[in-house]
Structure 1
Amino acid sequence: MNRILATSLAALLCAPAAYAQGFDVTVLGATGGIQDGNLSAFMIAPKGDPRAVTCDAGALVAGLIAADAQGSLDGITPPEGSDFTRIGHTLTEVIQGYLISHAHLDHIAGLIAASPDDSAKPIYGLASVHDDIRDTYFNWKAWPNFGTSGVEPHLGKYPATVLTPAEQTKVEGTGMLVTAFPLLHSGVESTAFLLEHGGDALLCLGDTGPDSVNGSGALAALWQAVAPLATNGALKGVIIESSYTSERPDDLLFGHLTPRHILAELGQLAALAGEDTLKDMPVIISHVKYSLKTGASPQQQVLDELQSMDTLGLRFIMPQQGALLALGAQ
């Protein structure tokens, strides 16, 4: 339901804003909830540069298989003589690291499953997220310790890069920078990641509830930080969750958003950034929970609600696993 190398490394890394081209987003996992193999994960790379990072990793290999089948990986070619398929090359060489918003299983299951055959690369996250990954999964009980701390022996495949809130950090092996902003999700710390490259920016939010319900003020702080990028046109898109339709009562959100709350929150961003600054901006809706019931799909219901209630002129995208989405391309 989608509605939608640079010639030298030096030129790529030093390109001025005028030459920025946006981002390619490959949907490795589109849903939340119970649809194993299709859980939250987005592979993100600057346009024209295949070196990528994922925002969450609920699905990895399953998502890459779906993307390859749809032709979304056609721009990626293993080098001559490589033993890897395109899927293997993408996992081990193209993906340079993982941004993990929080350690709930539907945001990290793909990483855990792929870890034995994956290449070494960093996991980026807030300190609390790294602690949860180490203590919950990489503990030699749930899974071998592929990290660099905790229960020994440390296999050391995934060194932890601890992100300081609101502090820009280089995404190693890519031309991107990332800034983490803490969010609140059902009693645990979640994260919004602001990726920047060549004057362009993309915002990817992990699970979070609205400020009006949880009272944290975390989203207000995020919008305050991101507003200047929306004002000057650098913000090329937002990935944000809507786990439920708007009929879901606030006391049963469990730290999630609905279309009504998404529009209220993005309205706060628009108020800070200036009138019409968000017009036509792509908004990718993640984490819609798969339903076992008959009737209209939750994805269709959420999209219909967003479009009918929107007064900001946003361009909503309901992603499908395997799709390649070009955001802000010139």
Structure 2
Amino acid sequence: MRATSFICVLLLSCFASFAQEGFKVVPLGVKGGNIDGNMSAYMVAPAHSNDFVCFDGGSVSQGIEKAIANGVFNVKPDVVLKKYLKAYLISHPHLDHLSGMIINSIDDTVKNLYGFNTCMEVIKNHYFNWQSWPNMGSDGNAPALKKYKYNVLAEDAEISVENTQMSMKAFKLSHSNPYESAAFLVANNGDYVLYFGDTGPDEVEGTGRMKAVWQAVAPLVKAKKLKGIFLEVSYPNEQPDKKLYGHLTPKWFMKELSQLAELSGLENVKGLNVVVTHIKPAGNNEELIKKQLLAANTLGVNLIFTEQGVAFDLK
């Protein structure tokens, strides 16, 4: 009886560990524009699952091919696109965040698109309209081919992501006020990951929208349930505030994370995974931004610099 009880406890412990091992990430595109074929798109799934969502869709097929070449997937590219990738979460409708999704839509299978109303309306009216591209959407100019279903999000409402075991909440961001972007908080079995689309700092944008996100996730940071944050930094510190165009620099990147540290406790932010996204590759920006971020990292977060097609885990 004791042996049986011990085995049951061991199995339950193993199951709990197996069920809460964070997320795996496959970057399909990592640059902040200018490099067609390598623009913002990140496939994310629970550990031990191939049911992915894609945060944005700037580059898709080239990223999948690089991931296969790197041994991330051992299937053909169309299997990854059609079977593994279940939905797109689009932060805003700029081309460097959705052009890959649009171009690959003809060869894709039925999927859900999630985004705020302004984003969905731009995709419907300006891209999937039979003028820019065939209408692959579930609404709009006839005939609507209904390959992609528009799911309009309500801010801070938790919903299930269809065809996955994940759920999510969305928050509005300011991307050069009054233009909008979005942050997505995705959950699975008590683990969370937070993705920011393009965003300007609160002090420049004057909206307080980033602070609202930090307030929402601070309890998760305290509880060690937030496994990672994707946060953009587009320009080096030399970029003047009046020319940020709704983006961050290393100075503002760290200042925003300091807001989170104030809300959740510095000790809880130390070692937190922060994935650096959207670096604009002009000139020596990448080298300079990385140097400035590392020098300013007094919070002790774990900065992750990504490469297209190179997978990593968030635990």
The TM-score with structure 1 as length reference comes to 0.89
Q: 1: CA distance between counterparts of 2:58 and 2:43?
A: 11
For residue 206 of structure 2, what is the aligned residue in structure 1? 215
What is the RMSD computed on CA atoms of the aligned residues?
Answer: 1.2
Do residues 122 (structure 1) and 109 (structure 2) align? no
Once the 2 structures are TM-superposed, how far is the Cα of residue 220 of structure 1 from its aligned partner? Answer: 0.7
Q: 2: CA distance between counterparts of 1:158 and 1:18?
A: 32
Which amino acid counterpart does residue 232 of structure 1 have in structure 2?
A
Considering Cα pairs closer than 8 Å and 6+ residues apart, tell me whether 1 or 2 has the greater RCO. 1
**Same amino acid, percent of matched pairs:** 41
Alignment of 1:180-329 (within 5 A): 180-186=170-176, 187-291=178-282, 293=283, 297-328=284-315
The answer (yes or no) to whether the contact 1:303–1:316 under 8 Å persists in 2 is no
Do residues 178 (structure 1) and 165 (structure 2) align? no
Counterpart of 2:142 in 1: which secondary structure? coil
For residue 32 of structure 2, what is the aligned residue in structure 1? 32
The answer (yes or no) to whether the contact 1:164–1:180 under 8 Å persists in 2 is yes
Of 310-319 and 16-25, deviating more is 16-25
For residue 12 of structure 2, what is the aligned residue in structure 1? none
Counterpart of 2:148 in 1: which secondary structure? coil
Which amino acid counterpart does residue 41 of structure 1 have in structure 2?
A
Counterpart of 2:140 in 1: which secondary structure? coil
Counterpart of 1:35 in 2: which secondary structure? coil
Deviation readout 1:148-189 (Å, 9 max, x if unpaired): 111111000001111110011111111111110000112321
Q: 2: CA distance between counterparts of 1:327 and 1:42?
A: 13
For residue 139 of structure 1, what is the aligned residue in structure 2? 129
Deviation readout 1:183-224 (Å, 9 max, x if unpaired): 011232100000110111000000010001010110010101
Once the 2 structures are TM-superposed, how far is the Cα of residue 290 of structure 1 from its aligned partner? Answer: 1.6
Q: 1: CA distance between counterparts of 2:129 and 2:16?
A: 44
Which amino acid counterpart does residue 55 of structure 1 have in structure 2?
F
Counterpart of 2:267 in 1: which secondary structure? coil
Counterpart of 2:211 in 1: which secondary structure? helix
Alignment of 1:75-94 (within 5 A): 77=75, 85=76, 87-94=77-84
For residue 56 of structure 1, what is the aligned residue in structure 2? 56
Q: 2: CA distance between counterparts of 1:67 and 1:19?
A: 25
Do residues 167 (structure 1) and 154 (structure 2) align? no
Counterpart of 2:44 in 1: which secondary structure? strand
Once the 2 structures are TM-superposed, how far is the Cα of residue 17 of structure 1 from its aligned partner? Answer: 8.2
Instruction: Say which structure is richer in helix.
Output: 2
Query: Unpaired segments of 5 or more residues in structure 1?
Result: 1-14, 78-84
1:229 to 1:17, Cα distance in 2 relative to 1, 3 A: farther
For residue 41 of structure 2, what is the aligned residue in structure 1? 41
Which amino acid counterpart does residue 153 of structure 2 have in structure 1?
L
Once the 2 structures are TM-superposed, how far is the Cα of residue 72 of structure 1 from its aligned partner? Answer: 1.8
Counterpart of 2:132 in 1: which secondary structure? coil
The TM-score with structure 2 as length reference comes to 0.93
Of 253-262 and 183-192, deviating more is 183-192
Q: Kindly name which structure, 1 or 2, has the bigger radius of gyration based on alpha carbons.
A: 2
Do residues 67 (structure 1) and 54 (structure 2) align? no
How many residues align? The count is 300
Q: 2: CA distance between counterparts of 1:259 and 1:211?
A: 14
Q: 2: CA distance between counterparts of 1:224 and 1:132?
A: 30
Q: 2: CA distance between counterparts of 1:273 and 1:258?
A: 23
Counterpart of 1:317 in 2: which secondary structure? strand
Counterpart of 1:153 in 2: which secondary structure? coil
